[in-house]
Amino acid sequence: MKIPLSAPDITEAEIEAVVAVLRTSRLSLGPVTEQFETAVAAGVSSTHAIAVNSGTAGLHLCIRALEIGEGDEVIVPSFTFIAAANAIRYERAVPVFVDIDPETLNIDPGRIEDAITPRTRALMVPHTFGVPADMDAILEIAQRRGLLVIEDACEAIGAEHRGRKVGSLGHAGVFAFYPNKQITAGEGGVVVTSNAAVAGRIRALRNQGRYPTDDWFQHTELGYNYRISEINCALGLAQFKRLEQILCKREAVACAYNQRLSSFQHLTLPRLALPFGRISWFVYVVRLAAHLDRDAIVRDLTAAGIGCGRYFAPIHLQPSYAGWRNSAGLTVTEAQASRTIALPFFNNIETAALDRVCGILARLLQRQRG
């Protein structure tokens, strides 16, 4: 029995929504896109929402629309998906990596001040694995130092920080809907912001730089084809309507894992709850004791047909970031990243699959301990 790392949860409602779009003549920038945007904006308590073709595109458009450009510095953790740093580099800005909190694995607010220079323009704040970052501390620093805040909420739709939805707390936020996410649009993302000017510019930039006053062959500024189809939005909208149900299902899977793994020695499990917010479970990541061979266990799990992943390989150690290889002060990032394993995690994973994953992991841990 092969168990995937992730799997989308598609019901007849999603299939019917997609088919309904296919029966129309409007497959791009139509009414379903507007409905999806309206639903997401309302759901996260933001004024504006702009649907795009990926979370990466959304992050890029935030950087450009906020006029972060060549030579500007943006503080970001290295322990996150590479798209966060790539989006900064697309505009010839400079990602400045800071270390993470060893418990939440989010950016450590205590490390931000030391990384600020006269060239710092913004903070890019991922909510890692759906765990809300410490936004009180981050926003206080940003306000005091005159910095922009972009929330990378691509893994965190529905997460909350002190009763407020993540993504809506900074100057702009981005959600993503790749098939491994809590809800999916197949591909796609949504940018949210309460700044009308920023929202208007992002709408133009996603559609080849066209503003509402432009005709189809007039382009006020350099833009991109970051549009998303009506088909994707139909799927995303149907999924978004089930978001609360889906989040509860995923939390239940996390609890089931913790129950099975709580007695395992040499294994650190994720926290199931936070005092200041709500987790939106994206992945279930355990951390091995430092003396164990994480990569060997990943290989053995894969050989047994169990999907797993190293979440995350630090960005500053990637080949495409050779110039950042000697980034200083990332000891927590490097130590924690070398210990992480993401286990199979999706809405409808069966009890037998959970038992198999945990049983095989137990045997592998016992083998390494001798």
Report which of 153, 158, 119, 118 is spatially closest to residue 135, judged by C-alpha positions.
Answer: 153
Q: Are 130 and 182 in contact (CB under 8 A)?
A: yes
Catalytic, out of 2, 181, 241, 249: 181
In the block, which residue shows the tokens 């409905």?
35
Is 165 considered catalytic here? no
Q: Are 147 and 125 in contact (CB under 8 A)?
A: no
Report which of 130, 243, 233, 247 is spatially closest to residue 187, judged by C-alpha positions.
Answer: 233
Helices (H) and strands (E) in the chain, counts: 12, 13
Q: Measure the CA–CA gap between 361 and 369, rounded to whole angstroms.
A: 12
Q: Are 128 and 104 in contact (CB under 8 A)?
A: yes
Instruction: Beginning with the edge strand found earlier in the chain, give each strand of the sheet holding 94-98 in spatial order.
Output: 48-52, 189-193, 172-176, 148-152, 120-126, 73-77, 94-98
Within 8 A by CB and 6+ apart from 253, the residues are: 281, 284, 345, 346, 347, 349, 354
CA dihedral 274, 279, 283, 288 (to 10 degrees): 0
Cβ count near 18 (within 10 Å): 19
First to last CA, the chain: 27
Residues marked active site are found at 181
